[in-house]
Structure 1
Amino acid sequence: MISTTANSIFQRAIEDYHVHDAIDHPISNPYPSDSLEHLLYLKCWIDTVQWHMEDVVRNPEIDPKEGLYWKRRIDKQNQVRTDTVEYIDSYYLQKFADVKPLADAKINTESPAWAIDRLSILALKIYHMRLETLRTDVDQAHIDACREKLDVLLEQQKDLSQSIDELLEDIAAGRKYMKVYKQMKMYNDPNLNPVLYGAKK
């Protein structure tokens, strides 16, 4: 089951990041560069770095210039995240290239990689919510509320994991088929964002 592998890799990436807990600490991906595992680890590392960037930029005392710096870094990071999701979908498009869809095959609401993207983010939510349940500087009400939220996140992880596994099984059997759309984000493209191409004039 891919979800078991993915969840394990996501947990490893998150824990590896928090050894140093530094946004600019270089990644040390332990998986072969041509493997799906490599992409999964990279995906979660990118998400983890971006998670902490989002924390920094939400500091109410942040200097506006520094806030803009972080906002632009987040935009770049989000583009890298999107590109990595598309690499994962490319892996599955190649993997299932020889599968002939059944006559009544249906398309899914999202591609396998975008579902895996949600699973990676969910792993981060679980990690950080679990930390909240271990705090000693808050009252019991906070701990109890976070434990309830953690239970919901864990249930969501279980359900999403099952859905991803079933989706991939359906694609492999021809019951569903992949149709991938590039994200075509316009705000980072100097040829598509009117503010950016207008600045050239």
Structure 2
Amino acid sequence: MFTTVCQQVFSKSITDYHVKDDVYTHLQNPYEKASIEHLLYAKNWIDTVQWHLEDIIRDPNIDPVEALKIKRWIDRSNQERTDMVEYIDSYFLEQYKGVTPAANATINTESPAWAVDRLSILALKIYHMEEEAQRSDATAAHRAACQQKLEVLLTQRADLCGAIEALLADIAAGTKYMKVYKQMKMYNDPSLNPVLYAGNK
């Protein structure tokens, strides 16, 4: 199943990142460039680095200059994440280009790749909640609370995987169809962000 592949690739990406556990680690994608695994690994690597950037920027003692540098890095990362989702949706569009939707076919609330995006973030939540549930320096109460949260996350992952597989099956059968809207992020665009275009006058 497609979501099984996703989980395997996301797990590898997260494990590979934590070998050094450093946001400056260079990405070394182990999958063939033309493969969906390559896209999934790159997508999750972006999410994993951003997860740790979000941790760093919340340090109450962080130097303000460093905080601004990290914030701009996060902004770039958000754009890269959106771009990667669109690449993954392009893969699905190619996969199902030969399917003629039924006359009564409906559109889903989100594209397959945005659901995969949520699955990638969920993989990170599960990894880090599992760490917390096993923390030797934490209290038993903390570990127990984190174990309960972990069980909820695992259920959420199973539900999301089921929903993604059902959506892909519906698209393949023509009962649902894809429509991909290019994300129109405004804050990075000098022509759309008022703060940026005001400075160009």
Per the TM superposition, whether the score is higher than 0.5 is: yes
Aligned-residue offset at 1:6: 0.2
1:158-197, aligned counterparts within 5 Å?
A: 158-197=158-197
In the superposition, the TM-score normalised over structure 2's length comes to 0.99
CA distance in 2, matches of 1:191, 1:38: 33
Worse-matched range after superposition: 92-101 or 143-152: 92-101
Q: Counterpart of 1:100?
A: 100
CA distance in 1, matches of 2:47, 2:25: 14
CA distance in 2, matches of 1:78, 1:24: 17
Q: Counterpart of 2:15?
A: 15
The unaligned stretches of length 5 or more in structure 1 are none
Aligned-residue offset at 1:64: 1.4
Residues 12-66 of structure 1 deviation map (CA, whole Å, 9 limit, x = unaligned) = 0000000111111111111110111100000000000000000000001111111
CA distance in 2, matches of 1:112, 1:105: 16
Alignment-mate amino acid for residue 98 of structure 1: G
Q: Counterpart of 1:150?
A: 150
CA distance in 1, matches of 2:63, 2:9: 36
Q: Counterpart of 1:123?
A: 123
Residues 105-140 of structure 1 deviation map (CA, whole Å, 9 limit, x = unaligned) = 110000000000000000000000000011111111
The unaligned stretches of length 5 or more in structure 2 are none
Aligned-residue offset at 1:188: 0.5
Q: Counterpart of 1:5?
A: 5
SS of the residue 1:34 aligns to? coil
Matching of residue 74 in structure 1 with residue 57 in structure 2: no
Q: Counterpart of 1:33?
A: 33
SS of the residue 2:186 aligns to? coil
Q: Counterpart of 2:87?
A: 87
Aligned length: 201
Kindly report the root-mean-square deviation, in angstroms, between the aligned alpha carbons of the 2 structures: 0.6
In the superposition, the TM-score normalised over structure 1's length comes to 0.99
Worse-matched range after superposition: 91-100 or 142-151: 91-100
Residues 156-184 of structure 1 deviation map (CA, whole Å, 9 limit, x = unaligned) = 00000010011001001101000111111
Matching of residue 139 in structure 1 with residue 139 in structure 2: yes
1:34-53, aligned counterparts within 5 Å?
A: 34-53=34-53
Alignment-mate amino acid for residue 160 of structure 1: L
CA distance in 1, matches of 2:96, 2:165: 14
SS of the residue 2:8 aligns to? helix
SS of the residue 1:146 aligns to? helix
SS of the residue 1:190 aligns to? coil
Moved over 3 A (4+): none
CA distance in 2, matches of 1:143, 1:20: 25
SS of the residue 2:81 aligns to? helix
Matching of residue 198 in structure 1 with residue 198 in structure 2: yes
SS of the residue 1:143 aligns to? helix
